[in-house]
Amino acid sequence: MDNISEYATSILKDLKILSGIPIPLNLFEQIFEKKDKSKDMFRYIERFFDEISKKRVPVLSVDELQVIGDMKIDGILIYKLFNFFVRLTKELHLAHVFVVTSDSLFLEQVYSEAMLKGRCRYLLVDDFDRETAIAFLEKCGFTDGEKTVAWEYCGGKPVCLLELIRADEKERIAKKMLATRVNQLKDLLDYLDYTKPKITIGDTEYMVKKGGIVSVLSRFADTECIDDQGLDRPAKHFLIKDNILFLDPNLGIIKPQSRLDLLAIREVVKNT
């Protein structure tokens, strides 16, 4: 790794904007032939950023980090990674680090770790509020009636709003989207009549029971969000893992993933 500085300098001369962390193939092969791969890889990134930081402020963005949550390389890799991120930011001041995840249970686990206390900030990338959503839809040519339908069914969920933007008959498509989600939830409850999925919490496996699922979902009959405390934990974890509910670890609240999910939940529990 003695020539990292020269390598980084040559890269920066050729590029105004650098995406990714380039590494020569021979060095990559050397690192991954060794037993302690993570130590050498971290050392490479640190020295590469050290060189880059002389002219620019590096920003390291890591997406969907939960996929390696349980991976072990001479210990739990995720803890090594976050210790390394703390070193890059708080100790060496070499870079900004953004860790992005759609798994709110994983986020809760990471956010509560003692090693990150006072060393990180939680940034929620949330749906549009009503004012923003309506302004966005107006720019897309929605009539007042279509804006009302879009907000009623989709709320501020961008992916849902895009479906309506592409549709000619917006109300019909909105109702179809809701019917699809209702049927998916009904099928989930029917599935739980025949099987008992298992959720691992800590080192223990727990069975997910239909009664626990219905109990949690019923809490949304007359509210849009609920407190995280006092819920059937296996059911809660199952619903969050299945992207039906979302946990905000900062506020300790749980809410449906979208307005569409909220409406579907209310429709299903009303007839359960």
Mean pLDDT of all residues belonging to the chain: 84
Q: Which two tokens stand for residue 113?
A: 């770790």
The CA-CA-CA angle for residues 6, 9, 15, to 5°, reads: 145
Per-residue pLDDT at 15 exceeds 60: no
pLDDT digits (tens, 9 = 90+) for 136-181: 999 999 999 999 999 999 999 999 999 999 999 999 999 999 999 9
At 22, the pLDDT band (50, 70, 90 cuts) reads low
**pLDDT for the residue numbered 24:** 53
CATH of domain 130-270: 1.10.10.10
Under 8 Å between Cβ of 150 and 122: no
Q: Is 218 helix (H, G, I), strand (E, B) or coil?
A: helix
Q: Are strands 59-63 and 96-100 parallel, antiparallel or unpaired?
A: parallel
**pLDDT for the residue numbered 73:** 44
The distance from CA 212 to its chain's CA centroid, rounded to whole angstroms, is 24
Q: pTM score, two decimals?
A: 0.79
Per-residue pLDDT at 182 exceeds 80: yes
Lowest mean per-residue pLDDT among 121-130, 140-149, 212-221, 262-271? 121-130
> Average pLDDT, stretch 33-53?
71
For residue 240, with 0-12 CB atoms within 10 Å meaning exposed, 13-18 middle and 19 or more buried, which class applies?
A: buried
Does residue 122 or residue 163 have the better pLDDT? 163
At 36, the pLDDT band (50, 70, 90 cuts) reads low
> Average pLDDT, stretch 19-45?
59
> Average pLDDT, stretch 38-67?
80
**pLDDT for the residue numbered 81:** 83
Per-residue pLDDT at 189 exceeds 90: yes
At 123, the pLDDT band (50, 70, 90 cuts) reads confident
> Average pLDDT, stretch 62-83?
70
**pLDDT for the residue numbered 46:** 85
Which position has the token pair 């949690």? 216
Per-residue pLDDT at 33 exceeds 60: no
Does residue 272 or residue 261 have the better pLDDT? 261
Under 8 Å between Cβ of 185 and 265: yes
What one-character DSSP code corresponds to residue 110?
A: H
Does residue 52 or residue 231 have the better pLDDT? 231
Q: Locate the domains of the chain by residue range.
A: 4-116, 130-270
